[in-house]
């Protein structure tokens, strides 16, 4: 037993990997995004690596230029229900939006998988960014909810969901065969919620799980996103390009959590990274080049044209540089753009690199190289106040996860930075996050 | 290979069983309604018995007099996702209502479990009967949808869901690494639905499963329910008290299906039954008495008081007979009441028996006795034009299912009435129901 602070690790599982052209790699299984056996193997690999979390993203709309891995994909809550049976320890986090479902339904789905996994579930709360309105049009709405409004709804949504999760006190079910008393009606509670967005009476028809509630995860990077997540999130997921940005975000965000009256140590900040691991620097660079080479001119330009609506890409190839089209000077509202804007301005990357950046599979040079270099970067960020842990967004799968588990995890373990065995059973135990008390219990205490 | 018509079997899986007092039996596991390992064993037992279907019911609200098995239960879609990994052949049917969720979400959840189970999923379509308004109040509504209105919504809901399921033609995903073509945009379709209840553009972000669509199951017994289900259902689930009622329903319903322009042989009618199996008639009767004895006066009277709102039960015990309170003459709109009304009038049962009838775990005398008698009744109903198969609603679990699998199934097999091995892989193959063609494919054919 050691009280030493350790790195938290989450694996972002998505078909052939984060990189949009990863399906074209010789070893890639291009039908994997809808292959349940493949996902079970991924989750088992992450569990072999003693990861805290297997993470499943989501979206509620697609179009012709969507990442191939998301066109034909599992719904994440049903997916983690299936992965629960193929694993025994790893936490399973599913993404679900608060903008297009009733809180009663989502509260149930999530608590159900938390029981199915015996307390290993987590919910990555999103509000769904939908500038094109593609998602809204799948749900009978003409236009998407305005940004801050979405977070107001999310805040009330969370209030309802967490209330419903407490419908039954932990000792409500007496189940006394002799007397015929199945439950104590004093310990069954209705939230009687009625506010701006929702009216929900309760109770929920499922009780609390072995970890009380699923763990709440959030990736809010906008202002309203941060002020929302600081109120509720137990794990924060962010993507920063370099140590300085990561450290600044870490410090600022922990401050916001403290300002919200919560203990900053109870909130884990995971930094997303897309490492490219080779036995040497040169081999890793070669891997990266190979991946980039699979982005076709047509796909790349078509994505960028769709993304930067006001820019005319006619006559340019993916080898053109960002400044030729003024991409670093744009004033776009998209948060993934703002996140990368400084990098685009500072590094003046090729359009091919801009495309990789925006599609989330391009980290800085610190993340390309042999396993020791990756471990060094992780240690520097972790020990230097820039991260409590990391979200592995492997550019290609399954190799990117397997290489990390086989080559980087042992180094972290040797340095005492990461567990060698699971010590707990639930996701909250892995993360060292307490079971939330039942809001109704104190009344009778 | 034989072309002989065979019985279809479905097992209704619910905690300690259909009987509301089943949790009090000495062998009952009263926490089973929320025990995933228990449900896996149930599904495996049904699979050992070569059942076509493991069936999971649902409700979206509870109150103090709800059946103990439904107070704290899994959400059925996540549950069948988990059961898929614990079984290899049996079909998995989850209940979900069309009244309280967006069609895009439900289309996705169901198609996702159909992929997770490799084509073994089914959807029991319900519209949610909610006379008390308990469910409506969990979803921001003051009052429940009026009955026929609910079925209008359901019909449009189905139109949207089935359209979304066809978003991708079966050969849409080219996945040609060489050329970089992942899919053929000509084979991606948007339904562009806009009608009375829903506006949904599509496409769905998941393609068709190995069986095309999940199998559609329905239990509509009311008039508007029947005219709806005759349009869409592939399996019908009904509960009739005796052969005459079952035969009459069977004949009439097949007629309605034919009137709707569909082939009546493509729609399987499963009759629900709650057998009590003993090695002798006397032993079975003893078991039944034991079960009834566990209904406490308080629970029973409280349920009946809640059920028959206008009747005053003060001063009566559960040994009173129906005619003392005029229960057979009532004009209640509830379909489960109307279903049993004739029985209540004709047999003048005790209140204890009325309670059992209404809570769904009381079949006629033909279903109480040794295994041969149960098999005889099944054969008579099946061969006599009253059933294509049966829904086993065991009064107590797991024993009611185990006894049936070990003692009744072998008799049916010996008589050539039931399979000895699964011949197919998907639920549609088990049932002999064709894969629905993709509505968009003919355009390009």
Domains within chain B, CATH numbers bracketed: 8-275+365-444 (3.20.20.30), 282-362 (no CATH)
**Is B206–A31 a contact, with Cβ atoms under 8 angstroms apart?**
no
Quick one: closest CA in A to B77, which residue? A78
Neighbours of A431 (CB within 10 A): 22
Q: Flag whether pLDDT at A280 surpasses 80.
A: yes
Quick one: closest CA in B to A30, which residue? B175
Query: Going along A232-355, which residue ranges are E strands?
Result: 235-238, 268-273, 276-277
Q: Is B133 exposed, middle or buried (0-12, 13-18, 19+ CB in 10 A)?
A: middle
Residues of chain A with Cβ-Cβ distance to B61 below 8 Å are 205
* Residue-level pLDDT at A146: 72
Q: How far is A378 from chain B (nearest CA, A)?
A: 34
Residues of chain B with Cβ-Cβ distance to A105 below 8 Å are 100-101, 105
Q: Flag whether pLDDT at B359 surpasses 80.
A: no
Nearest Cβ partner of A138 from B74, B137, B200?
A: B200
Q: Flag whether pLDDT at B130 surpasses 70.
A: yes
Question: Could you give the CA distance from residue B113 to residue B80 in angstroms, rounded to a whole number?
Answer: 7
* Residue-level pLDDT at B1: 43
- Which range has the worst mean pLDDT, A140-144, A172-176, B359-363, B399-403? B359-363
* Beta-bridge mates of residue A268: A235
* Residue-level pLDDT at B432: 96
Minimal CA–CA distance to B18: which of B423, B388, B363?
B363
Average pLDDT, chain A: 92
Q: Which residues of B are annotated as a binding site?
A: 58, 95, 147, 151, 222
Tokens linked to A253: 């965000």
**Is A294–B180 a contact, with Cβ atoms under 8 angstroms apart?**
yes
Q: Flag whether pLDDT at B443 surpasses 60.
A: no
pLDDT digits (tens, 9 = 90+) for B191-208: 999 999 999 999 999 999
* Residue-level pLDDT at A423: 96
B243-252, long-range: CB < 8 A, 24+ apart = B243/B366, B243/B380, B243/B381, B243/B384, B243/B386, B245/B342, B246/B271, B246/B381, B246/B386, B246/B387, B247/B381, B247/B384, B247/B385, B247/B386, B249/B386, B250/B385, B250/B386, B250/B387, B251/B385
Confidence of residue B335 (pLDDT cuts 50, 70, 90): low
**Is B24–A84 a contact, with Cβ atoms under 8 angstroms apart?**
no
**Is B140–A75 a contact, with Cβ atoms under 8 angstroms apart?**
no
Confidence of residue A143 (pLDDT cuts 50, 70, 90): low
**Is A108–B24 a contact, with Cβ atoms under 8 angstroms apart?**
no
* Residue-level pLDDT at B154: 95
Question: Could you give the CA distance from residue A313 to residue A309 in angstroms, rounded to a whole number?
Answer: 10
Question: Could you give the CA distance from residue A172 to residue B92 in angstroms, rounded to a whole number?
Answer: 31
Q: Flag whether pLDDT at A220 surpasses 70.
A: no
Residue from A101, A205, A291, A297 to probe the interface with B (highest B Cβ count within 10 Å): A205
Quick one: closest CA in A to B65, which residue? A185
* Residue-level pLDDT at A303: 83
Residues of chain A with Cβ-Cβ distance to B139 below 8 Å are 102, 104, 200
Q: What is the mean pLDDT of residues A168-173?
A: 96
B312-315, long-range: CB < 8 A, 24+ apart = B313/B351
Q: What is the mean pLDDT of residues B244-272?
A: 95
**Is B74–A28 a contact, with Cβ atoms under 8 angstroms apart?**
no
* Residue-level pLDDT at A1: 43
Quick one: closest CA in B to A25, which residue? B177
**Is A30–B182 a contact, with Cβ atoms under 8 angstroms apart?**
yes
Question: Could you give the CA distance from residue B110 to residue B90 in angstroms, rounded to a whole number?
Answer: 16
Q: What is the mean pLDDT of residues B134-144?
A: 84
Confidence of residue B281 (pLDDT cuts 50, 70, 90): very high
**Is B180–A205 a contact, with Cβ atoms under 8 angstroms apart?**
no
Nearest Cβ partner of A72 from B21, B77, B168?
A: B168
Q: What is the mean pLDDT of residues B49-58?
A: 98
Q: What is the mean pLDDT of residues A28-57?
A: 98
* Residue-level pLDDT at A335: 67
Size of interface A-B (CB pairs under 8 A): 188
Q: Flag whether pLDDT at A445 surpasses 50.
A: no
Residue with the larger pLDDT of the pair A306 and A62? A62
Confidence of residue B143 (pLDDT cuts 50, 70, 90): low
Residue with the larger pLDDT of the pair A12 and A294? A12
Q: How far is B78 from chain A (nearest CA, A)?
A: 5
Q: Is A405 exposed, middle or buried (0-12, 13-18, 19+ CB in 10 A)?
A: buried
Residue from B63, B169, B182 to probe the interface with A (highest A Cβ count within 10 Å): B182
Distance of CA B345 to the CA centre of its chain: 27
**Is B81–A86 a contact, with Cβ atoms under 8 angstroms apart?**
no
In chain A, % of residues over pLDDT 70 = 96
Q: How far is B298 from chain A (nearest CA, A)?
A: 10
The annotation status of A95 as a binding-site residue, yes or no, is yes
Q: What is the mean pLDDT of residues B327-350?
A: 79
Q: What is the mean pLDDT of residues B170-190?
A: 95
Helix (H) or strand (E) holding B216: strand B215-218
Question: Could you give the CA distance from residue A77 to residue A87 in angstroms, rounded to a whole number?
Answer: 15
What Rg value do the Cα atoms of chain A yield, rounded?
A: 22
- Which range has the worst mean pLDDT, A342-351, B20-29, B33-42? A342-351
Q: What is the mean pLDDT of residues A335-357?
A: 81
Q: What is the mean pLDDT of residues A412-438?
A: 97
CB B251 within 8 A of CB B368: no
The annotation status of A151 as a binding-site residue, yes or no, is yes
């Amino acid at each position: 037993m050691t009280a030493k602070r350790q790195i938290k690790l989450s694996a972002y599982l998505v078909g052939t990997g984060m990189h949009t052209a990863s399906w074209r790699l010789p070893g890639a299984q291009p039908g994997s995004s809808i292959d349940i056996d493949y996902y079970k193997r991924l989750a088992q690999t992450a569990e072999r690596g003693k990861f805290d979390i297997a993470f499943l993203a989501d979206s509620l709309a697609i179009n012709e230029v969507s990442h191939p891995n998301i066109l034909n994909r599992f719904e994440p809550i049903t997916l983690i229900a299936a992965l629960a049976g193929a694993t025994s320890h790893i936490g399973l986090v599913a993404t679900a939006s608060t903008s297009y479902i009733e809180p009663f339904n989502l509260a149930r789905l999530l608590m159900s998988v938390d029981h199915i996994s015996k307390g290993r579930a987590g919910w990555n709360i999103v509000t769904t960014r939908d500038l094109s309105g593609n998602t809204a049009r799948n749900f009978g709405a003409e236009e998407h909810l305005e940004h801050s409004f979405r977070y107001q709804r999310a805040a009330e949504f969370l209030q309802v969901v967490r209330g419903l999760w407490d419908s039954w006190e932990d000792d409500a079910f007496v189940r006394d065969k002799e007397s015929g008393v199945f439950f104590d009606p004093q310990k069954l509670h209705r939230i009687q919620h009625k506010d701006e967005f929702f009216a929900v009476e309760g109770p929920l028809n499922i009780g609390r799980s072995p970890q009380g509630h699923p763990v709440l995860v959030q990736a809010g990077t906008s202002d309203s996103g941060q002020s929302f997540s600081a109120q509720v999130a137990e794990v924060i997921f962010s993507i920063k390009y370099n140590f300085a940005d990561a450290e600044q975000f870490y410090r600022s965000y922990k401050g916001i959590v403290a300002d919200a009256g919560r203990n900053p140590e109870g909130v884990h900040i995971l930094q997303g990274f897309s490492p490219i691991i080779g036995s040497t620097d040169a081999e890793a660079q070669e891997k990266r080049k190979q991946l980039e080479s699979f982005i076709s001119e047509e796909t790349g330009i078509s994505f960028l044209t769709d993304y930067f609506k006001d820019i005319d890409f006619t006559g340019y190839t993916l080898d053109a540089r960002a400044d030729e089209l003024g991409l670093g000077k744009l004033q776009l509202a998209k948060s993934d753009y703002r996140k990368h804007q400084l990098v685009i301005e500072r590094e003046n990357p090729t359009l091919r690199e801009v495309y990789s950046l925006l599609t989330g599979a391009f980290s800085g040079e610190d993340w390309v190289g042999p396993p020791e270099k990756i471990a060094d970067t992780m240690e520097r960020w972790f020990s230097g106040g820039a991260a409590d842990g990391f979200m592995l967004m492997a550019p290609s799968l399954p190799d990117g996860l397997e290489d990390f588990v086989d080559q980087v995890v042992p180094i972290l373990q040797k340095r005492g930075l990461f567990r060698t065995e699971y010590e707990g059973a639930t996701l909250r135990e892995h993360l060292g996050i307490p079971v939330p008390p039942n809001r109704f219990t104190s009344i009778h205490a």
